[in-house]
Structure 1
């Protein structure tokens, strides 16, 4: 790790990054890494007053919330409150009643049809429901304009943010969408608990994390607020995949309320936690300790949940939207599937030197990337809390760390 330490310290010193947290652990005891670099905020103009980045620095984990929410849904399954093969008429009628958008008529009104099959819970967990985030789909841009609503999720409730039609028949393809966001409401209706109370009772308490280290409700935790990371931006923080110079831009602090504002629980993006707390969740899954899921339920996290047709849709999605592939840094040519908890790689990424076939992973907007490799017996996470998503400097540095951790298994 000496080379990685030097690389990250140099990146902080020369201003390429403001800070980072790196964590990795394996089942043999060869790998047990916890490193932090730089600072968690550039708000103070005086560098001496900037607080250090640490492994217990709270961050909004954005789409890395999806694993936590998926685990909670599977806990509901274990409790007999839901089933992956069930429709959503009872627990999420808002989603069960959605139609497929096929276009717009001459008057500018949407043309919709009934889906050929119902949305099942497993479709939500595997992003194969037909729900899509609006960012990359022109049809949804037009639909949001027809609704009179903002394109992005600028509202504090699920219905305004994500109540729009499907783009394909459930189970027939893959598209990254607000599936897991809706699951927080499903958890509430299935269990009778708020999403926050369920999180605390079934994830935070069993792992001894503490509510000041994992919550949907940051504003109710003053200590957590005091320790949280501000968002750091490279340039204006907007990722432009066609840019000839995507590395350009000075690091800066800019107040953006998304990173500390509490809204109605969005299971796909709304959890605040720390890297070391997230590692406790990953370690519970990797070590199969039974604290979160029974062994037979845990297996669902590593089992392909997509049909061959939908797997092709996933590969096509990754090829079409290279700039927004959620499995960064896996090479786009690697075949993909999705379980009930995250992306699965269907091939070794570099023989036995890096992520192995069946690796489970996902990522979050502020350049937070996690993976659990059941075959290699290792889990890791790197967290920068920096925009834009897919920042090439963060990806390069994080990938170097991840590969170094995997290579330690061979020593």
Structure 2
């Protein structure tokens, strides 16, 4: 039977999946797995110095930065953020449109938006491309839903889709949190993360601006796609036997003035793992031990939790990349999704996890003492083939870690 490495290499060679970087570490650093497979671009092999569009993996870093602000007493998790973000004072909820009309039905929200709600996607702020009312709202303004084409503040400034704290929807709450961090500390989000996160753990090749760190740009993996999609960044994966093709879709503008706290970072998975390891080890370099404990506690109210569970168990997510088995107990922590029961791959109850658009997935399992990172650059999100190999990677790491322990 082919070894794990032989299976991954064969899949990359045959372009079943793109090149990948696979990483794992335990809290003490005694168990380490760091390997690169397949091509970085049509002419070069993938290396451990390769860099990726981190996309929504940015959210973990922004959550950590926001919690550092809480530790300093600059803001509380349940404080009204409109004192720092006046744009979110008296937000309006888009309930729909008048019959036979293009006139939106708007009402002023009763509840305030708090930092906790921004960090857990319970604020009512949605990505415009995933909610039909907001798609229509954008279209009526002659604008295109989704990333690009608008400055960040225009992009993230949309009506709410529910009363703050009464639901769950994936959205730009972490982008707003990034703006809040910047304003509280009178600096850019890039400069803040450089000083308080990247320097703190010795992570070099991560940035919002590729021109600031030439090695990030030089080592960036060329984007891949499956199937002949016109706009793969804005679509969900479909089951396909098609192989992986190269694409010139860059996903983000380069250079850019914007620093999206929810999605804008580009960088090295090896360096990103240093951030994950600090949280896994609870070593105090990024956050106080008590704050790390809070990250791994359920944060959602009953209505929000029901909405999250409904979102995750929609048929379109079944067996896709980063999906969980149906019936998995979940909640949301301060930084990612909380898994509340053990999984067959070895993942333990209490693990924190989230993914990034080009099919990246990070997981921090404090019960087992293991952190995993699967990094690829392939569109669209939810790639079924990548899901197979990510699960294979996860199970292999737990088997090897258990055998070594």
Does TM, normalized by the shorter one, top 0.5? yes
Say whether 1:319 aligns with 2:317: no
Partner residue of 1:383? 375
2-structure distance, mates of 1:324, 1:145: 30
1-structure distance, mates of 2:96, 2:172: 21
1-structure distance, mates of 2:285, 2:367: 21
Structure 1 moving runs of 4+ over 6 Å: 324-327
- 2:276 aligned to which of 270, 277, 282: 282
1:62 Cα shift? 0.3
Matches within 5 A, 1:157-172: 157-172=151-166
Partner residue of 2:69? 76
Q: Secondary structure of the residue that 1:258 maps to in structure 2?
A: coil
Matches within 5 A, 1:24-43: 24-27=24-27, 31-42=31-42
Q: Deviations over 1:68-89 (max 9, x none)?
A: 1110111111111111000112
1:260 Cα shift? 4.3
2-structure distance, mates of 1:382, 1:181: 24
Do 2:119 and 2:335's aligned partners in 1 also have CA atoms closer than 8 Å? Answer: yes
2-structure distance, mates of 1:247, 1:179: 36
Q: Deviations over 1:339-389 (max 9, x none)?
A: 111100121122xx5111111000001110000001111000001111111
Do 1:153 and 1:162's aligned partners in 2 also have CA atoms closer than 8 Å? Answer: no
Say whether 1:119 aligns with 2:113: yes
1:263 Cα shift? 3.7
Do 1:40 and 1:52's aligned partners in 2 also have CA atoms closer than 8 Å? Answer: yes
2-structure distance, mates of 1:406, 1:338: 23
Say whether 1:151 aligns with 2:108: no
Do 1:324 and 1:390's aligned partners in 2 also have CA atoms closer than 8 Å? Answer: no
Say whether 1:190 aligns with 2:221: no
Q: Deviations over 1:239-281 (max 9, x none)?
A: 86695x4332542232435274424110000011101011000
- 1:395 aligned to which of 381, 384, 387: 387
Matches within 5 A, 1:11-410: 11-27=11-27, 31-42=31-42, 50-105=43-98, 106-210=100-204, 213-236=205-228, 238=232, 243=238, 245-256=239-250, 258=252, 260-320=254-314, 322-323=316-317, 328-350=322-344, 353-410=345-402
TM-score calculated relative to the size of structure 1: 0.92
Do 1:56 and 1:277's aligned partners in 2 also have CA atoms closer than 8 Å? Answer: no
Distance 1:75 1:241, change over 3 A: closer
Q: Deviations over 1:71-116 (max 9, x none)?
A: 0111111111111000112111212332111111243111111213
1-structure distance, mates of 2:369, 2:192: 29
Do 2:68 and 2:287's aligned partners in 1 also have CA atoms closer than 8 Å? Answer: yes
Distance 1:143 1:321, change over 3 A: farther
2-structure distance, mates of 1:22, 1:346: 24
1-structure distance, mates of 2:222, 2:35: 19
The count of corresponding residues between Structure 1 and Structure 2 is 399
Structure 1 spans left out of the alignment, 5+ residues: 43-49
Do 1:240 and 1:246's aligned partners in 2 also have CA atoms closer than 8 Å? Answer: no
Q: Secondary structure of the residue that 1:409 maps to in structure 2?
A: helix
1-structure distance, mates of 2:349, 2:327: 14
TM-score calculated relative to the size of structure 2: 0.93
2-structure distance, mates of 1:199, 1:161: 22
Alignment RMSD (CA, Å): 2.2
2-structure distance, mates of 1:326, 1:355: 17
Distance 1:383 1:258, change over 3 A: same
Do 1:329 and 1:399's aligned partners in 2 also have CA atoms closer than 8 Å? Answer: no
1:304 Cα shift? 0.8
2-structure distance, mates of 1:86, 1:324: 37
2-structure distance, mates of 1:228, 1:242: 23
2-structure distance, mates of 1:123, 1:208: 30
Do 2:364 and 2:370's aligned partners in 1 also have CA atoms closer than 8 Å? Answer: yes
Q: Secondary structure of the residue that 2:20 maps to in structure 1?
A: strand
Do 2:224 and 2:244's aligned partners in 1 also have CA atoms closer than 8 Å? Answer: no
Q: Secondary structure of the residue that 2:355 maps to in structure 1?
A: strand
1:221 Cα shift? 2.1
Do 2:12 and 2:18's aligned partners in 1 also have CA atoms closer than 8 Å? Answer: yes
Do 1:156 and 1:263's aligned partners in 2 also have CA atoms closer than 8 Å? Answer: no
2-structure distance, mates of 1:158, 1:251: 30
Q: Secondary structure of the residue that 2:358 maps to in structure 1?
A: coil
